[in-house]
Amino acid sequence: MSSPAPAPLRSTALNREQRAEALAALSANGPTDEPLDVLVIGGGVTGAGIAVDAASRGLRTGIVEMGDWASGTSSWSSKLIHGGLRYLYQANFALVHEALTERGRLLTSNAPHLVKAQPFLWPLKHHYERTYSAIGVGMYDALAVAGARGHKTVPIQKHLGKKGTAALAPALDTSHLAGTIRFYDARVDDSRLVIDLVRTAVGLGAHAANRTRVTGFLKDGEGRVTGVTATDLAAGEEIRIRATRTINATGVWTEEVQDMATTEGGLKVLASKGIHIVVPKTAIDAETGIFLRTEKSVLFIIPWPEYWVIGTTDTPWTEDVAKPVATSADIDYVLEHANSVLTRPIRREDIIGVYAGLRPLLQPRLKPGAKAASTKVSREHTVTRVAPGLTAIAGGKLTTYRVMGVDAVDHALGEALAHAHPSRTENLPLVGAEGYEELAGRAAQLAAERDWTLARITHLLDRYGDETADILELIDADAAAEDSQRLGEPLTNAPAYLRAEVAWAVTHEGAEHLEDVLLHRVRLDISHRDRGLSAAEEILGIMAPLLHWSDNDAASELASYTERVEQIAAAEAETTDADAVAKVTRSI
């Protein structure tokens, strides 16, 4: 039986004041002060999940990240919470069961505001496919029900003929199909999940500081790691953070970080690039997602309220891990496979967004000179002791971040301490989750009270959960402002988002730069053809007074983001990774 979920100890808001307090607490660990119980390096979903787990156990916890929260792999995934249907065909039943169990928790208790059940159609070319595919999907459903202790958290599979398929997805070419199977997984805004995890950890007492780069490790006379040296990149100041246990959760940077502590042992990680394209909702006439098996991997066509996300690729990456970019060849690959099943082909001019990310896959031990195909490397995670006092974790997937957090903290603590301080995250609601269902039940009433569409209030509920009430209060408090400046008004060039969401990103979600908002919070970077540049000045106008920016500061922010947009566009015109990266002079 799991331990009861802990209650928040303090405010969950991420902002300048919170960051300053966190850095002061982290760097105040002098020789006579108590060190942290656990220090986490890495602010992606794995590191954030570890911080939540450690803080939930009552451990004195810190987490540092060299960039913005979720700025690496955890922003550029397929944005799916899924069991990994293809792993059934590799007979990896344990991994699928684990992932489906976590999917059920996220849908029902941990993050129901962020994680939404999503149906997919699996096209069948031959009638004989229906039998073995039905067995596979049936096992998928059975494992999901078993993981939820006999409860269905999503509907089970349904078999459709050509007519039923065409009714759900007119865009799907059924001329060469025997039919389809409809099955369910779930989708999530990956960046928002990470930010909510960090906020949840902070609410449980963790000290969290982004833009804090680890530069080395502290050791005692016996060679045990006792903390880190780090640079506050915002102020340029060096700090020392003492910790009894340090956990390296830096994904594709795992080896770079662990090599600062030791060149012996540790984990080896293979970076694999995955790219996605984004097209408008009008580009594909369908009420459901589409799942395709390809010769290398799988391809998902995933519906979101305003657009479709289509991907992914799976290719080895040997360039700078700070600069993952899509190439023209990558885009052609995705278009070719998507168009192979669509009645109306997607054209390049239909594309409104492209993004690329790197998966941190465990590198297998190979004979000298042999190479690993990234599609064959297991997604299962591994935790190991790199050096006394230093644990590393790599591998895994977005869906199983919570299990990874449990395993990493258990390993760092050791069996006896882990037993004395068990994980308490199984049913822990993340920020926004606890009162979401009750508030969502009043969505129509809330919309009517403000003369809003139901879609607008649902948009807020699905991003902020029960904190939607706080955002509405923020809007009401701003009612005296001029019409065009009110926080309750939509952004002029991105009307799906309210101006209040930009303000909230600064005051509660830790946004300190224009990129932070456009890439990880109000995510126009992936959903607008100009990557949000047309909305940038209005967004800067909201951010500037909250962050006390001068006109020069705002101009610098705009110039920096414009440079990013131009460099990525130049990279996407190239056909090879090396040529694409050559167009990029900064971290992406």
Residue-level pLDDT, tens digit, the chain, 588 residues: 456 777 667 899 999 999 999 999 999 765 557 899 999 999 999 999 999 999 999 999 999 999 999 999 999 999 999 998 877 777 788 889 999 999 999 999 999 999 999 999 999 987 767 777 777 888 888 888 888 888 889 999 999 999 999 999 999 999 999 999 999 999 999 999 999 999 999 999 999 999 999 999 999 999 999 999 999 999 999 999 999 999 999 999 999 999 999 988 789 999 999 999 999 999 999 999 999 988 777 899 999 999 999 999 999 999 999 999 999 999 999 999 999 999 999 999 999 999 999 999 887 555 566 555 554 455 689 999 999 999 999 999 999 999 999 999 999 999 999 999 999 999 999 999 999 999 999 999 999 999 999 999 999 999 999 999 999 999 999 876 666 689 999 999 999 999 999 999 999 999 999 999 999 999 999 999 999 999 999 999 999 999 999 999 999 999 999 999 999 999 999 999 999 999 999 998
Q: How far is residue 532's CA from residue 484's CA, in Å, rounded to a whole number?
A: 19
CA neighbours closer than 13 Å in the CB half-sphere of residue 20: 5
Q: How far apart are CA 555 and CA 568, in angstroms?
A: 20
On whether the pTM is more than 0.85, the answer is yes
* Amino acid occupying residue 312: T
Q: What distance in Å separates the CA atoms of residue 86 and residue 505, rounded to the nearest whole number? A: 37
Q: What is the pLDDT of residue 297?
A: 75
Helix, strand, or coil here: 418?
helix
Going along the chain from its start, the domains and CATH numbers come out as 16-73+192-268+381-420 (3.50.50.60), 93-189+270-362 (3.30.9.10), 436-571 (1.10.8)
- Residue 382, beta-bridge partner list: 394
CB 109 within 8 A of CB 429: yes
pLDDT at 366: 52
Rounded to 5°, the CA angle 529-301-186 comes to 110
Tokens of 340: 């192979």
Structural contact between residues 389 and 246, judged by C-beta atoms closer than 8 angstroms: yes
Spatial separation of the C-alpha atoms in residues 496 and 490, rounded to whole Å: 7
Work out the angle at residue 239's Cα, subtended by the Cα atoms of residues 238 and 245, and round it to the nearest 5 degrees: 140
Comparing C-alpha atoms, which of 323, 316, 322, 330 is closest to residue 277?
330
DSSP string spanning 2-29?
PPPPPPP-S---BSHHHHHHHHHHHHT-
SS3 218: strand
Determine which helix (DSSP H) or strand (DSSP E) holds 134, and give its type and residue range.
helix 127-147
